[in-house]
Amino acid sequence: MLVAGCDVGSLTAKALLMENGRILSHELRRVKPRPELSAREVMEGALRKAGRRWEEVAYCVGTGYGRVRIPFANENISEISCHGKGAHWLLPSVRTVIDIGGQDCKVIRVDGEGRLVNFVMNDKCAAGTGRFLELMAKTLGVGVEDLGRLSLSSKEPIPITNICAVYAQSEVLSYLAEGANVEDVAAGVNQSMAARVKALASRVGVEREVVLSGGVAKNIGVVKYLEEMLGVPLIRLDFDPQLVGALGAALFASERVGGN
């Protein structure tokens, strides 16, 4: 049966279609002010790519920050469970999933079956989230996708000491006014992000294998520094890390209709 997972986050919306345990298609777009419109757009995009119709979808699970605003979802499941489920399907040996999204960061522990064991989440401050990186990139005058590459060229990273995103922005502006290299400041930004994630992870512990999901997983600078701070390698999935939540939602949907 055709099933779907729809993940509406604070920055991006994702939809993924599965049938008989196989991924058919997916769609990812920047969110719009109304989550329900974003959800429909990504679902329509995924259906169009697969050459399928709305009425063929047997079950849809919604997840993410905007999951309660997905009008066509048969059920809503937290992104914590969905990221754990999706990561385990991709890598059965995974035991820790670090999901850094637009508005929060989660460290998720799962068992050998992909079931949730424990988790911790930071959703009280922008620091340690994708929005923090977007703000810092804008302040540096570069694209957020360039932060990782720039930081790898740094000779002497400049520490970002403020834990508040707003004050950190002022700190970055001060460094730039003093003539600091953009590469060194970018490295400091990525180190700051990694340090916040490491502090969060220490509250539940990190057990190998470890997977990083969410958009920040594409930042090679954060990945590098986080590996150094945690002392364990982060497994690179052969899959878009931003789609892990939608994949997990689709897997739950498959279970609901009796699939594998």
Which residue bears the tokens 């502006």? 173
Domain boundaries, the chain: 1-91+239-260, 94-236
The pLDDT tens digits of the residues spanning 133-173 come to 999 999 999 999 999 999 999 999 999 998 888 899 999 99
| pLDDT, mean of residues 197-217 | 95
The rounded distance, in Å, linking the Cα atoms of 161 and 195 is: 11
| Inter-residue contact 186 to 138 (CB < 8 Å) | no
Query: How high is the pLDDT of residue 74?
Result: 98
The pLDDT tens digits of the residues spanning 50-65 come to 999 999 999 999 999 9
CATH 3.30.420.40 given to domain 1-91+239-260: yes
Buried b (16+ CB within 10 A) or exposed e, 143-175: ebeebbebbeebeebbebeeeebeebbebbeeb
Crossing angle of helices 79-90 and 244-256, rounded to 10°: 90
| Inter-residue contact 72 to 59 (CB < 8 Å) | no
CATH 3.30.930.10 given to domain 94-236: no
The pTM for the full model equals 0.94
Cβ neighbours of 92 (radius 10 Å)? 11
| pLDDT, mean of residues 65-71 | 95
**185 pLDDT exceeds 80?**
yes
Q: What percent of the chain has pLDDT over 90?
A: 89
CA distances to 70, 175, 224 from 207, rounded to whole Å, are 34, 37, 18
The rounded distance, in Å, linking the Cα atoms of 150 and 229 is: 20
Q: Do 94-236 and 1-91+239-260 fall under one CATH topology?
A: yes
Cβ neighbours of 250 (radius 10 Å)? 35
Query: How high is the pLDDT of residue 138?
Result: 95
Per-residue DSSP letter, 157: P
